[in-house]
Each structure stands twice: as structure tokens, then as C-alpha cells.
Structure 1
Amino acid sequence: MAKGLDLNTVGELLDHVPRRLVQRGELTSFADLELEAHATLVAEVVSVNTRRMRNRRGSITEVVITDRSDHPGSDLLGRRENRMTLSFFNAWTAARELTAGTHALFSGKVTHYRGSLTMTNPHYAPLDVDDDVDTREAMQNATRPIAVYPATAKVTSDRIATAVHTVLGVIDWRTVPDPLPAEIADRHGYTDLPTAYEHLHRPPDESAWYRAKARFRHTEALVLQTALVRRRRAVELRPAPALPGKPDGVAARFEAALPFRLTDSQVAVGEELAADLAREHPMNRLLQGDVGAGKTVVALRAMLQAVDSGAQAALLAPTEVLAAQHFASIESALGPLAHAGTLGGDPDGTTVVLLTGSMPQSARKRTLLQIASGEAGIVIGTHALLSDTVQFADLGLVVVDEQHRFGVEQRDRLREAGLTVPHLLVMTATPIPRTVAMTVFGDLDVSVLQGLPGGRQPISTHVVGLLEHPTWEDRIFARAREEVEAGRQVYFVAPKIGDDDAVPPMGLADSARALAEIPEATDPVTGAQDSAEQAPGPEEAMVSTAWLAELVEQSPQLGGIPSAVLHGRLDPTDKAEVMAAFADGRTGVLVCTTVVEVGVDVPNATFMVVFDADRFGISQLHQLRGRIGRGSHASTCLLVTRREQGHPSRERLDAVAATTDGFELAQADLNLRREGDILGDAQSGGRSTLRLLRALDDVAVIEEARTEATEILEADPDLENHPGLAAAIAASLDEDTEKYLERG
């Protein structure tokens, strides 16, 4: 159990929840069997024969059984002499356990093969016919559903069930504290803990199993929410620098000089941040807003409030491209206010600096000195900010952009950089459904920016299927030229970089026919590529930036239009030059990978073509699409695919094309990807620390548990009167998880 399933204790074994129930059906004699029906029967093994299969690898074990009833002759269904042949494929255990004369209980689906009834790989349980008590108990349990557990080849579901049944019979439940307070269990009509475990693993019927799961699901929600609420209360008691700002400071002058009016939502969220920063306890706030909602302006206003209070603010960005973009946009927005102490700068302003890993050594030393001395009021950087060589004079506010791109350890390192705990603002353009935010970020306040700033235009999105419409390839390039000739700019996005010598001698439409013959290499639901399963053909067939740049260069429609290539393998200096040329309008078409996915802001870019869009997930496509529509011009996004209609990945593309509502797409995306490891560092994927609770599905349970946890802690802050709940929190939240919760 420990080696195969990481189950090391009795508690962990009992918390290994069956993933489904198999109905045994009513105990049925051979005479009453019905085709295609699930049946359970007790029978005697007549003979067992194992042989190698002729047309495929492996073995087949044929077990002939009888119910000892008298059915001479043959009927229309092929029943003869009250016997049935069961087939087990590659079942060495069955061949060993089911010997002639053995009595066993068999459960499975009745099918028809070569004129006779049969079952294939039925569930079985040998019975001891010499022990009347065991046989009678088996008969009584024959109508119970069979619990099917998450198992491995060596630790089968039957072995797990046997172990569970063993421990259920010997546990002294008086020594096992119940995490669910009695008043909550009574209020919801839940059974006691021993009965709940019995019904979870050995339910008398399906309804009892669902009621038991509801009890444990509620318990999980309560344990998690109590831990989060308690952690939030503890964080609120820690000291932090009060950063009230001042009415005539840099923040006020910045707002007065803005060339546009803030949205009502930006004003409201800004007031929330201002109030948090003015307190003597650390702000812990998650700011989420859809792509283009104007989060950066709100965050900059908060950073300027910190500067007005005599502290420093740090903005942590996931890539050098995005860090440089933030630096340029903040410098531009502040104007002279960003260059205090320099010629032409405002002496009452501040100093904004950029720190990245690719900076020349001399510039890096100068920037580090400005940070350490306090001269730099706003520090923008990448992971380089997390280096031990970076020392802040007085760090008051940490802003983390696109928080999902940083691990918990990385986010936490900046917060430990100062003598006091700085305020924390984490931002994401990947909208998070409310219950997921409550579960994953339960000890953070959540602010949501609604709507788009004035002047933004909606983005029109279309799916372009080249397999059914091969002539549309020419129209894609012609449409791009029209956009450039109108004074706009274009993104061409490819899923991989590729090499120049790997460019196939064919166009997109031609390759669509070839690709249709290649097996799928990506997960048809999430779009994620699995390197373990991936065949070389589809990977090589993906559109690359090298291939795309070649097509653009050879395209008669785009001849003479300046183009450039941007991807992660470029030297940082080259990246900066390419982005600068595109931002300045010197480049008409930018062929790129997802390096532009986050934060790149070129308002004049109005046309995006995502090639092999089926290779991307929903959230990634939405982020990419957010690079256009950032100005006052109408924008268009084309999702180009060479997959056939009806392919599962086309459903994802249709979903993205149907709406620009990030929250609606996030719900669909998270339903596909699940929540990931809620309490650990994993931030996506199937593995979850939670056993039964699903943040996406159990909205009512989570909200109710949140209320109950708050009520419990208000009356009993140290959980002295709730030892079971306290013990469950201590057992389920190890040291690493406690740190995770503390960091937010």
C-alpha cells in the first residue's frame, strides 16, 4: 500500500475514497439471466483452462461455472446443462484463485458470444462453502454495490477493499476524534463518523454512499476554510508599515495628469487598495481582471501611494519582455515624475528602475545601488529581483504580475527582503471563478476589475478551418496586408520555434491534408501536449516561427512589408530591439510564439492570426487574443486550424470564438483542467490534495463552510472546544502547506 499508493496509515487507507460503485444487481440464477444486464450470481467452478491467444498477445483464462440447478438440454440463448463459460484476459490471479470446486460470487455484465451467455472479466470473490456463516454473509451482501478504488496493477481494487474491510472491523472509534462538530453534523442530517466510513466503503445502497461522501466533502471544506480563516486572522495581526500617502503627493499628480478617465471599477478597487495600504497590518489582496481591464494603472496608483509614504514598491514580472514593457509604460505614464534627481526630471517625483538578468554588469551595479540606497522608489524586474544580492532600503509594497507564473517560494522571497512584512498585491489576467478564489486564495481579499477602459474596441474572433476551406489561406495573408496598409500591425503566432532547415516545402492548406492522416499528439480536451505519449510526426507537423517566417517572406500578399521574428531563444538584447521596432510601428508583421502572451501592449496592433490554434488551451488563447483590441480600432483574431470539423480540439476553438468574457472562458477551462493541487505548489493539472471537494462544483458547500468556519473561530479562536477539527487541520496541513497558506 505504501509503495504503490502512498497509503501509510489506517487513516490514509480509510480516506482512499472509492471512485465509483459497481452495482452487483439482484442475485440471479442462470435461468433468469438477461442479456446486457448486470447480474450477480453465486456459482461453483467446474473447470479452468488458460491458453495463449492466437491473434493477439497475452493469454485467456476460460472458467466454466455451474449453479447446480437442473437445466437439461438447450434453450434459445444457448444455455445448456446449467453451465456458463467466463473469459478472463491476462488474468493470472483468476487462474490461480478459481480452481475446480471453488464456490465464488461473480458480478458483471451478461453478454452473448458464439451462441452462449458469458461474462468478460467479471468481478469475483471466492467463498468458503464449508463455513455457513461466511457463505450466509456473502449471500446477504450480494446486493451491496461493489466499491471500485483508484488502484494499480499490483495493488488491485479487491486488495484495497479487503484491507479496508479488515481495519473497519478493528478500529476503536472512541479514540478517533470527529473533525466535523456535532452541531454541524446534526444540522445537515449526517451520520456519525463510524457509520459514515462504513457507508463510504461498504454502503448498503448507492444513496448511503452519496450521503457519506457529502459528509466527508463538507468536512474537507470546513477543515480548509477554518485553516484559511485562521491564517488570515493571524496575518492581519502581523505588523506592516502604514502607507497612507499624502493628498498632494506623486499619486495625486499622476491621477490629475491622466489623459483618460478611470472606470468606476478602477476607482472602487483603487480605494480598496488605498485603505488596505493605510493600515498597520499587511495587505494581502488578489486583483483579478480580464485581459485589458486596466490592472496596471490601478497597481501603479498603489505603488505611488507607497512612494508618497516614504517606502519603496517592487513590481515582479514573469518575463524580460513584460518587465521591459512595464518599465517603458510606467516611465511614459509618469513622465518627469519618474526621473527625480535627473536633468528635466521633477524634483518632487520618484525614480523608476528596471532590473533584469541580462543587464550589463555596470548598469546592474548602478541599479542595485539605487535600490539599496532608497533612491529608486519603484523597482520593476524579473526573477532577478529575487536574488540575494538585491537589498531594499525600505520595501513597503510587492506587486506580483501574472501570479500563476511564479512559484510560492519565489513570491515569498521578496516579502522577506525587508525588516517588516510588506503589503502584497498579486494580479492575474486569468479570471478565477469565485469559489476557486475562495479555496485557493482563501486568506486573500479579492478585488475584481469589471469592464474595459473607455475607447477599447471589442475583438471579433473566428475559427478558420483550412481542411474544409483550403483557399482561405490566401485570404489570411491578404487580410493581413489590408490591415497593414490601413496603418495597423499584425501578430502571427505559432506554437513552436523550429529551425530554418526544418521548414516543410508546402503551404498550410497543403499540410492540412497531410496532418489529417497523422494521429493526434495533444490532449483532445485541454490541448496540453504529453511528451510521454507524443509521436514525432504531429510534433514535426506543427507550425513553427521558422516555417511561418518563410511563408510570410514568400507570400505575394505580404511582399515588401517589414516583418520580424520574436521567440524565447533570442538574445535578450535582440528581443528588446524586435519589440521596440514593433511598438514603434517600424515592423508590420510580428511572427512570434507565446512570448507575447502576457502584458505586451501595442495599441496599434489590431490583427492576430494564431496558427495551429488547436495546440493551445482556452486560457492561453484568451491571453494571446488580449494582445490586440488595446486601442481605439476594431480588432480581429483568427484561430487557424488544420484539424477536421468534429475534432475535440475544434470545440475549444469554438468556445473561444463565441465569447470574449474571460470569466466564462475560465470556468470552461478550469472545468477541463480541474483545480490542480489546491494546497500545494502545483497550479494546474489533475492532481489535487483534496479527496472529494471540487472547488468548481461545490459552490454551496464551500460558501457554507466558510460561514461556519468564521462562526467557529469567532466563538473559539484557538479551537479549544473543537479538538477534532484542530487535529484534522494539523494532520492535513503539514509544514509546507502551512507555509503556503501563510504566503498566500
Structure 2
Amino acid sequence: MPEVSSPPNKEKSAPQKAMEKLDLRRDIDLALHLPLRYEDETRITPVRALRDGDTAQVEGIVTHCEVQFRPRRQLVTKLDDGSGTLVMRFLNFYPSHQKTLGVGKRVRVRGEARGGFFGIEMVHPNFRGVDDDTPLAAALTPVYPTTAALPQAYLRKAVAGGLKRADLAEIIPAPLVPKGMWGLRDALRFLHEPSPDTRLDELEDHSHPAWQRLKFEELLAQQLSQLQAKREREHQRAPKFSVRKGGLQEKLLAALPFALTEAQRRVVEEIAGDLQREVPMHRLLQGDVGSGKTVVAALAATVAMNDGWQCALMAPTEILAEQHFRKLVGWLEPLGIRIAWLTGSRKGKARREMLEAVASGEAALVVGTHAVIQDDVVFKRLGLAVIDEQHRFGVAQRLALREKLVDAAEGLEPHLLMMSATPIPRTLAMTLFADLDVSTIDELPPGRTPIVTKVFSDAKREGVIHTIAGEAANGRQVYWVCPLIEESESLDLQNATETHQQLVAALPGQVVGLLHGRMPSAEKAAVMAEFTAGRMHVLVSTTVIEVGVDVPNASLMVIEHAERFGLSQLHQLRGRVGRGSVASVCVLLYTAPLSDTGKSRLRAMAETQDGFEIARRDLEIRGPGEFMGARQSGAPLLRFADMALDEELVQVARAAAEVMLDRHAEAAERHVARWLGAKSDYLKA
């Protein structure tokens, strides 16, 4: 397909550079760059018919144009169309504006009408000079996603050119296209230039039949890419382990101070089944907050280590990595397993010793942050990699991990287990994670107490502090989470430092700690150690304690400015309490006025503790970004389809992808190339 590029020796213009940033490089990229919305420039509305809030186009003669200086410098013009007078105000303007809007000139103006002191007016409308016979637009005018350096007029012209040149021949075999669906060429041409009688709501909510074809095309490309990745792995080789009677796994199970739940036993067996095959495991282990994923990962690791292979466990933060490390040391060191600890803060001799233990194979298990995949870390024989909270790692990091882990000498890839405490709704699992096998821990260990969630306005803050004093006096511990570390002029949010000072003053005789991401690692570890040991009563923190932190004695969680957090994040934070046998409470403090989205989030939190129901509602409220996490970086995933509404279309695309890969492999390759170009690798990360 022809590339969109400038001549080789010519410096690229700002719009051309902006187009490359938007990944508009090929003609097909331009053809698939569809409008965000549309403006109706096909009709003229009389001034007398304008109502407050209407967005409309009017045409008339300029009768007045002057620069005024009160209350601030502005250009004020008046336009008469014979039915009434429209006032136009421009707070930012240039001499060219004054020339086009000179008295006696005919202009066509489009903007939002509003009632003003001197009658109906528009502020900063779009306008252009016209003649008596200048024709109106024949189609609705598209408004494209763009950047400041890329004017709509330039982009419209580029898209129109790309649409003419792009190869829009049908690639998908006709029997696989749902019956009655528009052709691709017709759908694209229509969406770039819809006829004036088209209902705007059908265009803008993507329910028009033309949009249905584009959604199907997009979902099919995404499904094909993921299924290709899954099938490619069937040809790769991984170490084949055996689960021996009396082996490490049995020894660990016998030594654990608790019994596994039925759900944990089930997923342990699913993972063990994968590890006994020569095909690399690529499994997502999902379970609600506190469902016991770490012990499942430890049991998986024992299978590999029992056969003389190494394992790596990578977590997104030092706090979470250290918690895994402490648990794993407690479980595995008594069985004779040496565990290495690798994070960015570990330097000098201690780091060198760890690297030597990893390279020699003396350390059978390596736990750490992204430091585990740095260049100087060399494994002797890596058989299993576990990534916790996998959505928190960037695409580039996950790709680097895959490349690093392949054993070039033996031509073997390690097995890969990804863990997530953000349960994934079924539709999302079918789309964004179609290349993964998914195991779900769908029950909590016995003895976990339900958490009561209460929602209060910030006006009740003093009462909440009084409750904290009572909890601390009874020997309980409290988290208080704030969204910011320091004051911000743009957001009037209570910050962690100020809240810490307030609580120190309000709770004499109680130990109140402070934890945030900018503290040195050693200081963070010291604070967490004090809290975990029960020597600190209240911990004021930013969201660094969002995942993994496990303090059974903590019974109260206060989340300040709860309306600013996403639902999944609120659910994760709430999961830091209720980890012991004491009744626990989560208090959500909000600042009025609440947006509709804020109300929906807080209502969902008060109504349910079910992580899957929370995930479903979060998908409805926020869209898929929360769940995709960094997986969306670098790949144009689902620009058009809506996973909350298009589940049926996902299933149709899934079935079509299976058939296409089996019977029309060349067409499948071409379809993925058309939609994703070189980016399909990102979907495999």
C-alpha cells in the first residue's frame, strides 16, 4: 500500500510529523481514521429560530465590527440575516479575522448559540467569507481525532486522499461476513461523508449499520492476531516438568499452615497440567483481592524447581515484591530453596552476590521488580516466569521479558504465568486476552470477614477521625489513603503530608506513619515493617499500598477523595482490610459536588464486594482502559467496538477468526496487516 510521506530530501512539516505521531503513515491508516463526530453544514438556520444551546450554521451580512476593551480586549461583530441579529465575540483574534468580518461582508458562521445581554450570541464560532451563490456542503462534515499541530482542514484533505488511494478490496471471505452487513468500501465512504438525512445519534453512538461493519473488521483483526499468537506458541518448546509423588509440591502443601480452598486446588491442577506439556504455558491467573494467588504461584514454582529449573517472580512495586519475598522465604526456605531478591534499590556487593547466585543456579527462585529483566541478570536455567499485576507493566517491558527468557542454547521458552487481582469481565477476556488460558480463583479463604463500606461527605471528616481514635485505642490499625503527595494548584485535594500532620495532632499518644512513592526504598520498607509489626496505629499513604499489602490486624480503611479513583482501584484499596477475623470497615470520603460517574462508582462500592461485579460495572463506567492497562500502549486496540455493548459481535468475530486461520490463512495475514500493520506484536505481549 502506498505510504504517506514527504519527498526524501525535504524537511517534514509540523502537520506531517503530527500525522506520524497519530500513526497515520499508510493510505489505509488514513481511510480507517474515522470521525469522532460530525457537524451539519448542509443547512442554514435563520437567526430568529436559534435557541439557547443550539449548535447551528447561520449566514448573513456583517453590520458592525469593533475591538472593545471592557471587560477585556475582544472583537465584537454583528451579523444580520434578515430575520434577526447575531452577536459574535472573539477573545483571541487576528487582523485577518477583522478583514473577513468587515462591515458589508457576507459570512457563514457555525457555533453554539447562547442568550446574551444584547440578544442571541456565539463566542468563538467558526466562520468563513462566502458569496451569494456559495453552495452548502452536500454531506455532514467529519471532525477527526487530531492534535494541535494538525488542523482539521489539513487532516480532512489527507483522509480524503488516503480514502481514494487505499486498497479497499474485500479480504474477508464472503461466507464469514454476517448476513446483511455493509461492504467495507461503502461503509468507509459513508462514514467519512454521511448524507445530510442520516441521524446524528446513530453515527455518534456507533449503532449505524456502517459502523457495525467497521466494528466487525476491527474485532476480527484483533481476534486473528491473538489466535495467531496462541497457535505460534503451539510450535514453540518449553521444558516439560513432572509432578512427582513426595516432591517439592507435596512437601510445601504439607508444610503450609492452612488448607487450600477448592478453587485454589482446581487452578493448581490446571497450572500443573500446563507445566507437564512441552508447549509454553501462557496462563492468566485471576482472583479477587485476598483470594490466595501467591501460594498458587509458589506451588507452580515448586514443580519447576523440583526438576532443577529456576523460577522468576516479578511485581510492579518494591512493596509488593517484598511482601511476596517474605511469604516465599517463609514457605520455601525450610524446604531448602534459596531465594534471590532483586530490586532497583539493591546495589553494590549485595546485588553482585545475588547476580552470582542467579547465574550459577544456586538461587532457584528470583523475586523482584522490573530489575529482574535488566541486562546484567543472567539465569542459568529459567523454566517458569510469574508476573504479578501484569497490567501494571508496559508493553515494552513484557516484550523484553519474553525475549530475555528464551534459552538460546536449548531453544526453550519458559512457561509464563500472569496474575491479576483485577477480575476480567467475560467479554474483555474474549477480546483483549483471547490468546491466554484463564484460571480463576472464585472463592475467598475461610475466615475472611465481610467488609462494610460506608460513604460520607468530607463534611463528616471529624467524625471519621474520632472513629479512628477509638479503633487505635482498641489495638486495631488503620489505613488512610490520599490521592496526592503534595499540594497541587490545579486540584484542591487533601494531600498525604498535610493529612499526616492533622492526624498526628488529632491522635496524641498514637503512632501515625506516612508512606508515599517518593520516599527512598529503605524508608518505605522501614515504615511498612513498623505497620506490619503492629507498632504503628495509623498509616497515611498514597496508592503505593494498592496491591498486595497484607496486615491482618488492619480493620479500617479511609479513602479520601474517593470520587477521584477508578472502581477497580477502590476495590483493590478496600481489599487491604478484612484480612483477619475482625469486622472491618472501608470509609469512602468524597467532596461535593459529585459527577454522575463519581456517584455510579461510590454506589457500586457500597452495593457489592464481588470483584467480578465491580469489574463489570467499571467496564460500563470507564470503558476497557482500566483493564487493558499498559497493554493498550502501542496498539490501536478497539477504537470502534464497545465491549459493554458488542459481546455478540465479539463472538461472531471469534468464530470467523478460527475459520479464517484454518481455511484462509493468506487472507487472515492480509487482514491483520491492514488493521494492525507492524503492531500485532504488542497484542502478544
TM-score between the two structures when normalised by the length of structure 1: 0.77
**Aligned positions of 1:18-167 closer than 5 A:** 18-23=35-40, 33=49, 35=51, 45-47=60-62, 49-54=64-69, 55-65=71-81, 79=83, 85=86, 87=88, 89=90, 135=135, 138=136, 141=138, 144-151=139-146, 155-157=150-152, 160-161=155-156, 164=159
Q: Deviation of residue 491 (structure 1)?
A: 2.4
Question: Which residue is 1:432 aligned to?
Answer: 424
Amino acid at match of 2:183: D
The residue that corresponds to 1:503 in the other structure is none
Structure 1 contact 293–452 (Cα < 8 Å) conserved: yes
1:226 and 2:227 correspond: no
The equivalent position to 1:599 in structure 2, one of 531, 534, 548, is: 548
Which residue of structure 1 aligns with residue 449 of structure 2? Answer: 457
Larger Rg over CA atoms: 1
2:173 paired residue among 175, 181, 188: 181
* C-alpha distance in structure 2 between counterparts of 1:740 and 1:206, whole Å: 37
Residue in structure 2 matching 1:192, options 157, 172, 183? 183
1:576-725 to structure 2, matched below 5 A, reads 576-641=525-590, 643-644=591-592, 646=594, 651=599, 652-676=601-625, 681=630, 683=632, 689-716=637-664, 719-720=665-666, 722=667, 725=668
Give the drift of 1:249: 0.5
Aligned twin of 1:354? 341
Contact kept? 1:179, 1:728, Cα under 8 Å = yes
Gaps spanning 5+ residues in structure 1: where? 67-78, 341-349, 499-520, 522-533
Deviation at 1:404, TM superposition (A): 2.3
Note the alpha carbon deviations across 1:582-607, whole angstroms, 9 max, x for none. Answer: 32333333333333222111222222
* C-alpha RMSD of the superposition: 3.7
CA contact (8 A) 1:483 1:490 kept: no
Paired AA for residue 505 in structure 2:
Q
> How far did residue 317 of structure 1 move?
1.8
Matched, 1:492 2:480: yes
Helix, strand or coil: the match of 2:221?
Answer: helix
Measure how far apart 1:296 and its partner are.
Answer: 0.9
Q: 1:183 to 1:360 in 2, by over 3 A?
A: closer
Q: Using the alignment, how far apart are the partners of 2:278 and 2:298 within structure 1?
A: 21
Cα deviation, residue 270, structure 1? 1.5
- The one-letter code matched in structure 2 to 1:379 is V
Task: Give the equivalent residue in structure 2 for 1:287.
Answer: 285
Stretches of structure 2 lacking an aligned partner (at least 5 in a row)? 1-14
Contact 1:27 1:39 (C-alpha < 8 Å) held by counterparts: no
The AA in structure 2 aligned to 1:463 is V
Contact 2:286 2:423 in 1 (8 A): yes
Distance 2:179 2:162 in 1: 28
Deviation by residue 1:383-435 (Cα, 9 ceiling, x = unmatched):
33222222212110000111122223333444423512101011111222233
Q: Please, which moves more after superposition, 589-598 or 17-26?
A: 17-26
The corresponding residue for 1:2 is: 16
Whether the 8 Å CA contact 1:549–1:565 is kept in 2: the answer is yes
- Alignment match, 1:12: 29
Is the Cα–Cα contact under 8 Å of residues 28 and 39 in structure 1 kept in the other structure? no
1:97-148: CA deviation from partner (whole Å, max 9, x where unpaired): 6789988777677777788777777667877767xxx85xx58x3xx54433
Residue 399 (structure 1) aligned with residue 386 (structure 2)? yes
1:550 aligns with 2:542: no
- Cα distance, 1:211 vs. partner? 1.6
**1:740 lines up with 2:676 in the alignment:** no
Question: Which residue of 2 is the match for residue 512 of structure 1?
Answer: none
State the one-letter code of the partner of 1:183. P
Q: Which amino acid aligns with 2:615?
A: A
Aligned to 1:472: 463
Task: Confirm or deny that 1:249 pairs with 2:237.
Answer: no
Instruction: Give the aligned partner of residue 513 of structure 1.
Output: none
How far residue 250 of structure 1 moved from its aligned partner, in angstroms, is: 0.8
Q: Which moved more, 1:615-624 or 1:153-162?
A: 153-162
Structure 2 Cα separation of the partners of residues 282 and 162 of structure 1: 48
Query: Given the superposition, is the C-alpha separation of residues 728 and 578 from structure 1 closer, same or farther in structure 2, using an over 3 Å criterion?
Result: same
Q: Which amino acid aligns with 2:211?
A: K
Change (3 A) 1:572 1:189: same
Identity %: 39
TM-aligned CA deviation for residue 282 of structure 1:
0.6
1:499-536 per-position Cα deviation (integer Å, ceiling 9, x unaligned): xxxxxxxxxxxxxxxxxxxxxx9xxxxxxxxxxxx626
* Aligned length, in residue pairs: 652
Question: Quick check: 1:535 aligned with 2:478?
Answer: no
Alignment partners' CA distance in 2, 1:399 and 1:40: 57
Aligned to 2:670: 727
SS state of the match for residue 733, structure 1?
helix
Which residue number corresponds to residue 6 of structure 2? none
**Deviation of 1:295 (Å):** 0.9
What do the CA deviations read for 1:647-693 (whole angstroms, capped 9, x no partner)?
668624444333222233334444554434999956589x9554322
**Deviation (angstroms), 1:58:** 3.1
Q: Paired residue for 1:313?
A: 311
Structure 2 CA distance for partners of 1:3 and 1:232, relative to 1, 3 Å: same
Code of the residue aligned with 1:62 in structure 2: it is K
CA contact (8 A) 2:230 2:436 kept: yes
Q: 1:569 to 1:203 in 2, by over 3 A?
A: closer
Which amino acid in the other structure matches residue 590 of structure 1?
L
Does the CA contact (< 8 Å) of 1:676 and 1:688 recur in 2?
Answer: no
Q: 1:13-35 CA distances to partner (integer Å, 9 max, x unpaired)? A: 3322122234568777789x575
SS at match of 1:287: strand
Say if 1:219 and 1:103 are closer, same or farther in 2 by CA, change over 3 A: farther
Aligned mates of 1:428, 1:201 — CA distance in 2: 40
User: 1:395–1:422: 8 Å Cα contact kept in structure 2?
Assistant: yes
How far does residue 278 in structure 1 lie from its aligned partner after superposition?
Answer: 1.0
Which residue number corresponds to residue 201 of structure 1?
A: 192
Shift in CA distance, 572/39, structure 1 to aligned 2, threshold 3 Å: closer
Are the equivalent residues in 1 in contact too, given 2:389–2:418 (CA < 8 A)? Answer: yes
Q: CA deviation at 1:305?
A: 1.1
Q: Is the 8 A contact 1:368 1:391 kept in 2?
A: yes
Match of 1:417 in 2: 405
Contact 1:680–1:689 under 8 Å retained in 2:
no
Task: Give the drift of 1:481.
Answer: 2.5
CA distance in 2, matches of 1:666, 1:740: 24
Q: 1:152 to 1:49 in 2, by over 3 A?
A: farther
What letter matches 1:87 in structure 2? M
User: What is the distance in 2 between the residues matched to 1:680 and 1:475?
Assistant: 38
Which residue of 1 is the match for residue 8 of structure 2?
none
Q: Provide the rounded CA distance (Å) in 1 between the counterparts of 2:631 and 2:285.
A: 21
Q: C-alpha offsets along residues 465-507 of structure 1, whole Å, 9 cap, x if unaligned?
A: 242x3541452333322441xxx33323344445xxxxxxxxx
CA distance in 2, matches of 1:731, 1:649: 36
User: Alpha carbons of 1:230 and 1:47: their partners in 2 closer, same or farther (altered >3 Å)?
Assistant: same
2:300 and 2:288 mapped to 1: Cα distance?
19
Separation in 2, partners of 1:625, 1:39: 44
Question: Residue in 2 aligned with 1:347?
Answer: none
Deviation at 1:304, TM superposition (A): 0.8
Aligned: 1:300 with 2:298: yes
Aligned 8 A contact 2:386 2:419 in 1: yes
- Maintained 8 Å contact 2:481/2:540: yes
